[in-house]
Structure 1
C-alpha cells in the first residue's frame, strides 16, 4: 500500500511507481471517480478521443444540426 501526504494547498505527490503503472507523466490528467461516499478510484484520463469512434455503432439515421437544435430547445422548454 502506498501512502502520501496532502499539503496545505491540497496537493499530493503521486509516487513514481504509481505514475509508471498509470502510464502518466507531467501534464497528464487524472480522473477521480467516486465509488461510494468516502471512496474514490484514480484513473488516468489519457485516452485519445479517437478511441471512442464506433463505440455506439453506426447511426440509424442522419440528423441535421437544425434538427439537433430543435430537439434541444424542445427538451429545454420542458425542463424544470
Structure 2
C-alpha cells in the first residue's frame, strides 16, 4: 500500500511511478472520479480534438494565407542563404 501524506492546505503529491503508470507528464491533466465506499479513481485526461482545430492557429492578425508555391520559394531561398 502506498500511503500519501496530505498537507495542511489539503494537497497531495503523487509519486513519480504513479504518474508514469498514468502516462502523464508536466502540464498534462488528470481527472478524479468519486466511487462508492470512499474510493477515488484517477485517470489521465486525453486531449480531444482534430488536427483541423490547429489549422490557422499560427496565423497573425491581418496576415494573408500564403500558397504552397510561396512556401516552397521561401524554403528554397532559406536553404540557399538568400533570406
Kindly report structure 1 stretches of 4+ aligned residues shifted beyond 3 Å.
Answer: none
Give TM-score scaled by structure 2 length: 0.53
Structure label with greater radius of gyration: 2
User: Where does structure 2 lack aligned partners over 5 or more consecutive residues?
Assistant: 51-83
Aligned alpha-carbon RMSD (Å): 1.6
Q: Secondary structure at the match of 1:49?
A: coil
Q: Secondary structure at the match of 2:35?
A: strand
Where in structure 2 are the equivalents of 1:64-79 lying within 5 Å? none
Give TM-score scaled by structure 1 length: 0.54
Residue equivalent to 1:25: 25
The alignment of Structure 1 onto Structure 2 pairs a total of residues equal to: 50
